Amino acid sequence: MSQSVDPKQLNGLALAYMGDAVYEQAIREHLISLGKTKPKRLHASATNYVSAKAQAYLIDNMLTEAILTEEELSYYKRGRNAKSYTKAKNADSKTYSRSTGFEALIGYLYLTGQSTRLDEVITWCIKDIEKQ
C-alpha cells in the first residue's frame, strides 16, 4: 500500500474505519480456512469475532493481560475517546467506544506497516474468542 498520509496524524475514527476492514478481512480468511463456505453460516460465525460486543471483550482481555505496548494503548484510547456521531445497532455506547478503540488499534498497526505485530494481535484475538 502506498502511504500518502502519515497514519500517526489520523484521528481515531479514521484509524477505526481502516481497522474495521482489516480485522473483518482477517476473520473472513480465518473462517474460510476452517472450511466454512455457506454465506449464512459465515456471517453468523464472523459475528462472534467482529461484533462490537466481541471486540470490547477482546480489548478488555488485552488490557487485563497487558499485551499492548504503551504506544498501542495510546492508539486504542484515541479510538475509544473519539466522538462518533453514529450509534451502534446492538451495543451500548461504552461497548461501542471500546470496540472503536479496538478497531483504531488494528488500523494503526496496519497503516504503520507492523504486519508481524498485527498478525500476532489478530491470532491472539482468534484464540481468545475460540477458547470461550
Cβ distance 14 to 80 under 8 Å? no
Alpha helices in 51-114 (DSSP H): 52-64, 70-80, 93-111
Report the sign of the C-alpha dihedral through residues 95, 97, 99, 101, in that order: negative
Which residue's C-alpha cell is 470490547?
Answer: 56
Q: Active-site positions?
A: 20
How many residues in the chain?
A: 132
Which grid cell is 88? 451502534
Report the sign of the C-alpha dihedral through residues 48, 50, 53, 54, in that order: positive
